[in-house]
Structure 1
């Protein structure tokens, strides 16, 4: 937050800073304006006394005006007007005493209009003080409202990202537990036990990561390896995975578990449909200031319309979830494309800004 907004947000500090600076500025400007009138120190002393009196007399106005803000409009205007007039009248009296008793040493004029002029000037000055007070008060209220709106928006944004991120766990968990249940039914307890152990490791990693924070790609790869170990228990040699990850991309920040649903779709709609199994290719490369992530398979493929898969071909929760997460995190500065992989299969490309964790930069 800028320094000015920090000062405005601190009501006590702001009031005393502006109260002192304002009346000091009044004394300086008044003295400069009347410099040709009198250069003696006694004239400067009178100006300082007047400024100090104004400083003291306007302090109670702060608390009166604070009370006025809680009243109805007409009551507020009446209280502000009366308080302003009384304060200006008291200040005019103090200035008269200072001028005629100290500066003029007891001389008093016969022209009473001079007293009236002094009172009008005091009303104008206290009126300016009042306007500044309510102007700053209004700015404080607008600033506070803006902060509340931003805070509420941020909390809603974070809640939305968390919801999308945690939505993956039940989706993946259901599929894995269903596979374990099948293994138990066919009495393949050893394989089921291996899947349970790997599932435990994967879920521990998943739950330890903050859904709001991005993780280095190397951690995402480690999570995918855990997931693929679970799937290899099911598919054994039928599942082949090819990695093509540039070393410089391993430090790039990505949303946690952003690739797992893509691989899950490839396994479900490609590998499992092929008797001899199939291959999944995972790549990560840089392109300018962007990170390019690619997941493809050599499965039977599917119809693609406007970059979308039909719901029966992997276009369900997983892909919709990823698109919404990317939009929430990058606000349009990304791309998520689904296309045919030649000679067969589906290819999904993700482009996001290339970001590196500060811990890696320091290293």
Structure 2
């Protein structure tokens, strides 16, 4: 069966993706770190020139910027070591390291000027020196704040991605669980029918039934519940199932199909109709000597696909006027209906409807509506 790209696949990053993401994150840090301190150096240098400092002032500013660049690398390791501690506690822990880095930058400024690299670069007063150190303190505090903001944002993004991936995986697991709950009664009844045919020496019919069962089970187990198929493909799968049941019930099972031509290419979850048809056979055909008629309907209503599976059996006496089983015991007797409703809810959310009703003329009907989509269409 062809994959349907419109349905979500597993969203969790694989083990091979994590190292590449770590390398990309590390490269981004170095670009921002070196670029940021280079920007600080250039900004301070042009500002100094504008305020009358000599051209050789770059030697002092470069040494100071390199001190800040190296010091904040150590600060980065401290911030990473803080892990998931509350921001207020991290801020308190960073006070001393930030002051030390700013002091180191101020000391570098003093040492470079004392060495005579730029004799005209000395501040005019001691207060000017302290002002310079305070200015560097703001730079280091800004670096630490920006680093915390970016790392916190990255953690939140990763947590959000992990939550979305976990939700998607849970939906996939739920869909597969619902999809693979194949009714064992169908297998038992079919195998018993084959056994009876063998005992009656009707080998041709038994062989045909075994082949039909094999084809249906292969299709059922190979079909991915996360993929969608066209309505035509779905009806072909239902045909495999009905061929087996017609061998069992012969003329007691009658099928009427009314499908609008435009609906053949419409997409729907694989084997969506099979449990509904199985439910109709169990309650409207198998329990009555005269058997019954099962109807399959499909019509397009604007941007909606309307599907119906109905029968002319005794209906569901426990169903109230609102289409809800009157008691829990009755609800548990028709697991296929509940599974189909849950599959639609997981896949389409509020864009689908699933209605049950007893027909006025007798019988039972399941009606579903879902978005009308064809291969290659966006799910919006």
- Give the TM-score normalised by the residue count of structure 1: 0.83
Counterpart position of 1:197: 211
CA displacement 1:124-158 (0-9 Å, x = unmatched):
22122112222322222222222222222222221
Aligned residues: 356
Counterpart position of 2:370: 352
Within-5 A mapping of 1:1-363: 10-27=24-41, 29-30=43-44, 36-38=50-52, 42=56, 50-69=64-83, 80-96=94-110, 105-106=119-120, 108-109=122-123, 111-168=125-182, 170=184, 172-184=186-198, 188-303=202-317, 304-305=319-320, 306-308=322-324, 315-358=333-376
Distance across 2 between alignment mates of 1:221 and 1:176: 20
Counterpart position of 2:4: none
1:315 CA drift (Å): 5.0
RMSD between aligned residues: 3.6
CA displacement 1:281-320 (0-9 Å, x = unmatched):
2122211221111111222333231313576699511111
Contact 2:54 2:121 in 1 (8 A): no
Distance verdict in 2 for CA 1:72–1:334, change over 3 Å: closer
Contact 1:269 1:313 in 2 (8 A): no
Q: Which runs of 5+ in 2 are unaligned?
A: 1-10, 12-19
Contact 1:242 1:281 in 2 (8 A): yes
Distance across 2 between alignment mates of 1:302 and 1:271: 14
Distance verdict in 2 for CA 1:313–1:268, change over 3 Å: farther
Q: Which moved more, 1:243-252 or 1:330-339?
A: 243-252
Q: Which moved more, 1:223-232 or 1:298-307?
A: 298-307
Which secondary structure does the structure 1 equivalent of 2:181 belong to? helix
Distance across 2 between alignment mates of 1:28 and 1:7: 31
Q: Which moved more, 1:74-83 or 1:334-343?
A: 74-83
Distance across 2 between alignment mates of 1:158 and 1:315: 25
Distance verdict in 2 for CA 1:80–1:253, change over 3 Å: same
Contact 1:336 1:348 in 2 (8 A): yes
Distance across 2 between alignment mates of 1:72 and 1:261: 52
Distance across 2 between alignment mates of 1:106 and 1:41: 10
Q: Which has the higher contact order (CA 8 A, sep 6+)?
A: 2
CA displacement 1:3-39 (0-9 Å, x = unmatched):
xxx9899430331232134334434554676674249
Q: Which moved more, 1:120-129 or 1:13-22?
A: 13-22
Distance across 2 between alignment mates of 1:100 and 1:54: 19
CA displacement 1:256-291 (0-9 Å, x = unmatched):
111011111222222234444432221222112211
Contact 1:8 1:14 in 2 (8 A): no
Q: Which runs of 5+ in 1 are unaligned?
A: none
- Give the TM-score normalised by the residue count of structure 2: 0.79
